[in-house]
Structure 1
Amino acid sequence: MNVSNAVDPDAPVLSNDGLLGIVALAAGAFIVFGFIVSPPGEIMSGLVKILLARDTLITDYIGVGGMGAAFVNAGLLALVSAGIYRLAGAKIGGASIACLMLVLGFGLFGKNLLNIWPIIGGVYLYSLYKQEDFSAHINTAFFGCALAPVFSEILFSTAIPISVGLPLGLATGLLMGFVLPAAAAQLFKAHMGFTLYNMGFTAGIVGTLVVAIYKSYGFVPDPVFIWTTGNNLLLGSFLIVLFLGLIGGGIYLDRSAVIRMKDIMALSGQSPSDFVALVGIGPTLVNMGLSGTIGMIYVWLVGGDLNGPVIGAIFTIVGFAAYGKHPKNVVPIMAGVFLGSLAKPWGASDPTIVLAALFGTTLAPIAGRFGWYWGIVAGFVHSSAAQSVGVLHGGLNLYNNGFAAGIVASVLAPVITAIQWRKADHPEEKL
């Protein structure tokens, strides 16, 4: 397919405000849902608890502040973030939608209206230093909030008084944000776009260095595991309505959106791969709703829990369904992680394995570029890698699977390329 001619000239083109409006509607749905399931007083007290949480992986905000507060936090965070995009005059495309949907999803675990600002401030300082518009780095700033728990961990640590923790946390966050843009640009070359969470890879490396330095001074992050259960019916119903809304919105904007899903499925998804620019907003919204539904069905099939972290992972699929993911390239990754759970000493419904299957779809471009069978291999390998790298950053990188996937893609993609090159050069050889 010639992707340069993929966009239907008669398809509607939304302005920046229109695209931000889609994000705002999703964020608004989170807030409305929050007030439906919890009374205002409970939400307010829950929001305070969320702001004061340490946020190390895994901290389910539903377990910290209650379901209503968790969803209101996520919705408000996404609305504020979308407002900053608008104030910055940023060009909104698939990458921006992916970023804002990640903010929405991670607003249920790990990111809040207190801990994201040092990272964003550091990226802003970098843009000033480089004499470049902040809008050119705004995606890096918000993706970089993967390291937001570093600020919370230092600020609320019992080992450090707040009079020391506040300036130390701010300085650490600003410094991390300042180095992220340059580091991300360089590290992208290692995996060549075969993992979509480049910032997860970058944040993992930066976070590993920061944690190593703090550990050398005796400051070791305490492990956290807050994981709620028993809400599958309620949360599943909410997600179904939301995903149907995305699909319906895509069809409303473009009556041929469902048919034109084939144009998206023909793309490998290798980054950069902006589906909004390549195919149009209508098919992209349908892809977002459909891909999110597949993620939710996978959780149900393996007997997993729907909660803050899992919905955050599902919304990572939803967001990147505007920038690289579609059913054809995510299913093989999930299948590989599932097969890994059969062959290894853990179950498919274990929390970390469910998250590995969902977040591991960052490796979707491997399946899209090299074939479904290599996607299964990538998922199988990722299921092990994701269990091992968290100790390096002490749980302070929210994109732990992105870090693991960056390592997997950086090793696996060149190997696959070499194998396929040899097969093409010597077709008579059987491997």
Structure 2
Amino acid sequence: MNLENKSSQIEFTTASQTLKYGFFWFIAFFFAILAFLFNSPEEILEGQIVILLSPSNLVTDYFAISNVGATLFNSAILTAHSILIIKMSKARINGAVIAGVLTVAAFSFFGKNLYNSTPIVLGAFAYAWSTKAPAEHSLLAALFGTALGPLVSEISFNIGLSLLSGIFYGYLAGFIAGFIIPPLAHHIVKFTKGFSVYNIGFTCGVIGTLFVSIIRSTGREVEPVSLLSSGHNEPFIIIFLVLFSIMMITGLHFNHWTLKGYGELLQHSGQLSTDFLDLNGFSITLINMSLLGYLSLGYVLFHGGELNGPVIGGILTVVGFGAFGKHIRNVIPILIGVTLMGYLNNYDMSLTGVVTAGLFGTTIAPIAGRYGVVIGMLAGAFHLSIVSNTDTLHGGINLYNNGFSGGFVAAIMIPILEAFHYHKEKRKELREPVDPADEMKGES
């Protein structure tokens, strides 16, 4: 009987992994097919060349420097690349891996490409090889670490080196960055205590600041840019509604057309590492991802934002982390906090930088999940203030600037909140009546 149960469990796990791979391939083919609806093969090829040769630092909207079809195809390529990396590392697909793949797909709209991602991936796996650790231990560093892709592109094409020297030093810098991400990320999570789900984003911010400081010390400038597009709302509203509806229908289908279990998912704070796949199953996780997609799209449209490369990247990232820490209960307070702070300071809430601060600012959603709506709103407000000033530190070569900022928000707020919580508990103990029986035991 035990053997039968074990056999059926193995069959279920295998089927589940196949289903998750199917989800990834669906995303890749979905974007690849869409690419040819926007542009011809010749235009896509020309756009791809432009993307590969771009410095790509924040904020370089690939819609603006190439075309929509080339950008969608770039995302499809990097999604497929991520799938192959997962297979090669023989890792099990869990919530963190889903978040990683969709984050790669997201940032392929504004900063990541096959050229600048490759050395970072190689560096992350070289670390695993050199420490004799399984390759799967460096998988998340390889996926999320591609946030430093602009470091490779910037050195290769934008600081005045010859082409061969630029490629050599760009790839060397990318390889070194990828190599040191895994050990640094392991220790930096203690800094934020898991209350910023973009842990590697903060790690990449630290590494990016180091590299940019070295480059600037040679007299060269590395600064953020602002290359943005507009006018794509109508087609991408339809695309996203179709995509999120397919996810919702699929999730409901596998969950027997009910939302049973979703209430349990909403009870999690989201603090690292909260893997919804392991805790709640693939069907409920897919429903959660879909709902976050609708919410994120609604947030952008409510503020009159443009669905350009960075904003689309923000929406897809929120959706990806719907498998790993984010849900509507802990995300909404952050969005409200960013919105209130924006209106309080008379920000133009339709600006891409402000809209993406809200979307990517949900990295600190676990703060709302643990400490409630009001504290979550306060965290969101702080995040908008901080994120406006951190990109100059790393010169835009860390694509996860909000992860960098969110790490600071968590590192500042959590010790204070924990201290108040501790004293609140102590005061509660002092107010509790003493049991006479316990008092007599103490005297004896």
2:335 is matched with: 334
Aligned partner letter, 1:150: L
Tell me how far apart the structure 1 counterparts of residues 308 and 16 of structure 2 sit (CA, whole Å): 33
Structure 2, unpaired ranges of 5+: 1-8, 431-444
Tell me how far apart the structure 2 counterparts of residues 401 and 128 of structure 1 sit (CA, whole Å): 31
For residue 425 of structure 1, report the CA deviation from its aligned partner: 2.0
Q: For residues 75-106 of structure 1, what are the alpha-carbon distances to aligned partners after superposition, in whole Å with 9 as ceiling and x for unaligned?
A: 11101211221122111100000000001111
Shift >4 Å, 4+ stretches: none
For residue 37 of structure 1, report the CA deviation from its aligned partner: 1.6
For residue 358 of structure 1, report the CA deviation from its aligned partner: 0.1
Tell me how far apart the structure 1 counterparts of residues 243 and 140 of structure 2 sit (CA, whole Å): 24
Say if 1:389 and 1:400, in contact at 8 Å, map to a contact too.
yes
Tell me how far apart the structure 2 counterparts of residues 167 and 212 of structure 1 sit (CA, whole Å): 20
Tell me how far apart the structure 2 counterparts of residues 232 and 46 of structure 1 sit (CA, whole Å): 21
1:386 is matched with: 387
Q: For residues 261-320 of structure 1, what are the alpha-carbon distances to aligned partners after superposition, in whole Å with 9 as ceiling and x for unaligned?
A: 111111111110000000000000010011011011000001111111101011110000
1:42 is matched with: 43
Q: For residues 221-245 of structure 1, what are the alpha-carbon distances to aligned partners after superposition, in whole Å with 9 as ceiling and x for unaligned?
A: 1432111111111111100100001
Richer in helix (by share): 2
Say if 1:257 and 1:283, in contact at 8 Å, map to a contact too.
no
Tell me how far apart the structure 1 counterparts of residues 393 and 350 of structure 2 sit (CA, whole Å): 24
Q: For residues 190-218 of structure 1, what are the alpha-carbon distances to aligned partners after superposition, in whole Å with 9 as ceiling and x for unaligned?
A: 11110000001100011101101111111
Which secondary structure state, in structure 2, belongs to the residue aligned with residue 183 of structure 1? Answer: helix
For residue 345 of structure 1, report the CA deviation from its aligned partner: 4.4
2:318 is matched with: 317
Alignment map for 1:366-405 (pairs within 5 Å): 366-405=367-406
Q: Say yes or no: does 1:156 pair with 2:144.
A: no
Which secondary structure state, in structure 1, belongs to the residue aligned with residue 274 of structure 2? Answer: coil
Alignment map for 1:1-400 (pairs within 5 Å): 14-157=15-158, 159-255=160-256, 258-400=259-401
Say if 2:141 and 2:200, in contact at 8 Å, map to a contact too.
yes
For residue 20 of structure 1, report the CA deviation from its aligned partner: 1.8
Tell me how far apart the structure 2 counterparts of residues 209 and 87 of structure 1 sit (CA, whole Å): 31
Aligned partner letter, 1:18: L
Tell me how far apart the structure 2 counterparts of residues 340 and 408 of structure 1 sit (CA, whole Å): 15
Q: For residues 24-45 of structure 1, what are the alpha-carbon distances to aligned partners after superposition, in whole Å with 9 as ceiling and x for unaligned?
A: 1012111111111212111111
Task: Note the aligned Cα RMSD (angstroms).
Answer: 1.6
For residue 257 of structure 1, report the CA deviation from its aligned partner: 5.0
Say if 1:333 and 1:379, in contact at 8 Å, map to a contact too.
yes
Tell me how far apart the structure 2 counterparts of residues 180 and 57 of structure 1 sit (CA, whole Å): 20
Say if 1:257 and 1:286, in contact at 8 Å, map to a contact too.
no
Say if 1:334 and 1:357, in contact at 8 Å, map to a contact too.
yes
For residue 16 of structure 1, report the CA deviation from its aligned partner: 2.5
Tell me how far apart the structure 1 counterparts of residues 34 and 385 of structure 2 sit (CA, whole Å): 36
**Which segment is superposed worse, 246-255 or 321-330?**
246-255
Aligned partner letter, 2:413: L
Structure 1, unpaired ranges of 5+: 1-8
TM-score normalized with structure 1 length: 0.95
Which secondary structure state, in structure 2, belongs to the residue aligned with residue 321 of structure 1? Answer: helix
Instruction: Figure out how many residues of one structure are paired with residues of the other and give that number.
Output: 420
Relative to 1, partners in 2 of residues 1:165 and 1:119: Cα closer, same or farther, differing over 3 Å?
Answer: same
Say if 1:101 and 1:319, in contact at 8 Å, map to a contact too.
yes
Q: For residues 335-377 of structure 1, what are the alpha-carbon distances to aligned partners after superposition, in whole Å with 9 as ceiling and x for unaligned?
A: 0000110112422212111110000001010000110111100
Say if 2:159 and 2:220, in contact at 8 Å, map to a contact too.
no
Aligned partner letter, 1:382: H
Which secondary structure state, in structure 1, belongs to the residue aligned with residue 42 of structure 2? Answer: helix
Tell me how far apart the structure 2 counterparts of residues 368 and 223 of structure 1 sit (CA, whole Å): 33
**Which segment is superposed worse, 156-165 or 184-193?**
156-165
Say if 1:194 and 1:271, in contact at 8 Å, map to a contact too.
yes
Relative to 1, partners in 2 of residues 1:223 and 1:364: Cα closer, same or farther, differing over 3 Å?
Answer: closer
Tell me how far apart the structure 2 counterparts of residues 103 and 407 of structure 1 sit (CA, whole Å): 23
Percent identical pairs in the alignment equals 38
TM-score normalized with structure 2 length: 0.92
